[in-house]
């Protein structure tokens, strides 16, 4: 029976904490082949039962010394440096062989403890840039639902916490148990794609200064075969000058920007219209449905059809 600790720190958030408590704290031994399930203990700073989970066994952070896995809930304090006592307890638990997992922004607490250095990790896409900037040794992946480095795991934003928890069940009890709990929670056992499909399309420049008029002109012509030369000519710049300006103002190059805009247009049309994939490919300048499918899958992580099934506005 795996013993697992749910860390409820001072800035813990309810949604992700409830997900972990539901998956690991409810006896589902009928789903496992050996008739066991998790032995869940809640860990708070001083061992006082948490107000959201008052009926679960509770211990202080030093209780992390006696568990097989640790799950750190998300945090709404992204500017803090973390609790040194918690950081030390996490590092010690990891050194003793415990798996350490974080839910959503809980990755910031693992990062503060140094547990994500030189590893792949993810967090909510809205905070991925902040995580990467503050902790440059981490390979931050904003496009995945969870990152599994074996002994350290991280989940993307919000509901991706459930994806990671089911992934842990799959690792510990097998596919049948993971699919069984997914059915009971009325969710897929494994979701297609990654977090990229939920990221808001890149916004345009905030002012009409600089390149904004050129970029707006281009957005109105995404169905046409625009080139970097076309953008440069419209902006009154050389192609080299245009590239420098776009990297300075938008942190991307002209071709990458055009590609992002075409994908964003395809997403909008998939959500808001009944147009066929062929028609959408033509409207966003991808030429053919085959080309659109290839680039869309690479950028968003799912096919255009799967994206429409998830996000179509009715």
- φ, ψ dihedrals at 59, nearest 5°: -145, 170
Which SS3 state, helix, strand or coil, does residue 99 take? Answer: strand
Confidence of residue 313 (pLDDT cuts 50, 70, 90): low
More confident residue, 76 or 82: 76
The H-or-E segment that residue 139 falls in is strand 139-140
- From residue 94, alpha-carbon distances to 47, 108, 154, 267 in Å are 20, 16, 14, 41
Helical H runs in 96-143? Answer: 107-112, 128-134
Question: What CATH architecture is 3-195?
Answer: 3-Layer(aba) Sandwich (3.40)
Q: Which residue has the higher pLDDT, 298 or 137?
A: 137
Sheet holding 146-148, edge to edge: 58-60, 39-44, 3-7, 69-72, 99-102, 152-155, 146-148
Question: Where along the chain do its domains lie?
Answer: 3-195, 212-311
**What confidence tier does 216 reach under pLDDT thresholds 50, 70, 90?**
confident
CATH of 212-311, one of 1.10.10.60, 1.25.40.10, 1.20.1250.20, 3.30.1050.10: 1.10.10.60
Write out pLDDT tens, residues 2-40: 999 999 999 999 999 999 999 999 999 999 888 999 999
Q: Does the pLDDT of residue 103 top 80, yes or no?
A: yes
pLDDT: which is higher, 82 or 209:
82
Split at pLDDT 50, 70, 90, the class of 280 is very high
Rounded to whole angstroms, what are the CA distances from 151 to 110, 170, 288? 12, 15, 43
Give the tens place of pLDDT for each residue, 289-308: 999 999 888 888 788 998 88
Give the pLDDT score at 201. 53
pTM of the shown model: 0.68
User: Quick one: average pLDDT of 107-129?
Assistant: 95
CA distance 215 to 206: 12
Instruction: Decide whether 3-195 matches 212-311 in CATH topology.
Output: no
pLDDT above 50: residue 131: yes
Instruction: Examine the pLDDT at 42 and tell me if it is beyond 80.
Output: yes
Q: Specify the pLDDT at position 264.
A: 85
């Amino acid at each position: 029976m795996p013993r697992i600790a749910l860390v409820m720190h001072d800035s813990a958030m309810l949604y992700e904490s409830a997900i972990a408590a539901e998956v690991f704290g409810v006896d589902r031994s009928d789903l496992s082949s050996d008739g066991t399930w998790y032995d869940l203990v809640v860990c708070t700073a001083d061992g006082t039962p948490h107000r959201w989970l008052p009926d679960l066994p509770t211990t202080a952070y030093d209780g992390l010394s006696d568990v097989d896995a640790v799950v750190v809930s998300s945090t709404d304090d992204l500017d803090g440096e973390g609790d040194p006592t918690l950081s030390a307890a996490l590092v010690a638990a990891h050194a003793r062989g415990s798996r350490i997992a974080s839910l959503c922004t809980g990755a910031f607490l693992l990062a503060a403890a140094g547990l994500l250095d030189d590893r792949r990790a993810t967090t909510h896409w809205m905070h991925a840039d902040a995580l990467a900037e503050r902790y440059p040794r981490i390979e931050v992946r904003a496009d995945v639902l969870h990152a599994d480095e074996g002994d350290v795991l991280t989940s993307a934003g919000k509901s991706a916490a459930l994806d990671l928890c089911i992934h842990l069940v799959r690792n510990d009890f097998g596919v049948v148990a993971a699919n069984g709990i997914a059915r009971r929670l009325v969710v897929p056992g494994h979701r297609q794609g990654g977090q990229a499909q939920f990221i808001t399309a890149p916004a345009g420049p905030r002012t009409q200064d600089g390149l904004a008029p050129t970029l707006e002109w281009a957005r109105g012509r995404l169905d046409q075969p625009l080139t970097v030369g076309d953008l440069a000519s419209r902006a009154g710049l050389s192609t080299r000058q245009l590239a420098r300006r776009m990297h300075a103002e938008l942190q991307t190059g002209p071709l990458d920007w055009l590609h992002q805009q075409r994908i964003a247009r395809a997403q909008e049309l998939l959500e808001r219209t009944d147009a066929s994939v062929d028609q959408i490919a033509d409207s966003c300048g991808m030429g053919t449905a085959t080309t659109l499918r290839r680039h869309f899958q690479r950028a968003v992580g799912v096919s255009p059809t799967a994206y429409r099934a998830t996000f179509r506005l009715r």
